[in-house]
Amino acid sequence: MKLKKCILAKVLAATMLCESLFGFALTMPTPVYAAEEDGSVDGTPGEAVLTSGETSAVVAEAKVTREQVRAKNKESLLEIIDNESLSDEQKQNAVNQMVAMTDLAEKEAAAETLLASKGFNEVVISLTADTADVVVNAADLSDANRAQIEDIVARKTGVAAQNIVITPVNSEGK
C-alpha cells in the first residue's frame, strides 16, 4: 500500500507541476477500489487498493503503472513540443522535462538490473531528483542486504544514501 501511495503522490506532484507550467494536467491511472456487497467502499475513499494477493504482483503492478504514467506524460510533452502556438521557452521546458524523465527512467532501470543480478529479483525503484524509494520483495532484510541495496542504488542513481528509503514488502504483511 505504501508503494502505491508513494507512486501516486509523485505522479500527482508531476501532474500539478505540468498544470502550473502549461495550463493542463497530465493523466494518472485510475485507482481500483474494493467495494463491499452493500455498495460501501472498504478503506479510505481515494486510497488505492491492491487487488492481488501476490507480492510479486505488487512489484509488477508498480512497474506497469510507472511506465503507463511515463508514456502518458511523454505523449503530453510531445504535444507541447509539436504545438506551434506555444513559445520556444515553453517547448524547451517540455524538452527539458522529457530529458529529465528519461534520465530518471534509465537510472531506475540500471539500479533494478544490478539489484536483480545480486539476487533481488523483485524490486521497484522510484526516483525523484534527489530521493529514491526502493521496494523489495522480501519478508525481512538483513543489515548487509540493506547496505548492498543502498550502495547499488546510490552508485547507479547518484542519490545520497541518507535519501534512500528501502521498504521490504511481503504477502504475510497484508
Decide which of 173 and 76 is more confident: 76
- CA trace torsion 72, 78, 79, 83 (10° rounding): 170
pLDDT in tens, 113-161: 999 999 988 899 999 889 999 999 887 889 999 999 999 999 999 999 9
Provide the mean pLDDT of the chain. Answer: 76
Q: Is pTM, for the whole model, over 0.75?
A: no
- CATH of span 2-173: 1.10.287.4300
For the cut 70, the answer to whether the pLDDT of residue 37 exceeds it is no
Most confidently modeled range among 16-25, 56-65, 125-134, 165-174: 125-134
Residue 155: C-alpha distances to residues 66, 83, 141, 146 (Å): 22, 38, 20, 14
Q: Contact 62/7 with Cβ under 8 angstroms?
A: yes
pLDDT band at 32 (very low <50, low <70, confident <90, very high): very low
pLDDT at 17: 45
Domain ranges of the chain: 2-173
Give the rounded percent of residues in the chain with a pLDDT score beyond 70.
66
Q: What is the DSSP letter of 35?
A: B
Q: Check residues 169 and 172 and name the one with the higher pLDDT.
A: 169
**pLDDT of res. 21:** 44
Span 1-30, pLDDT tens digits: 454 454 444 554 554 444 444 444 444 444
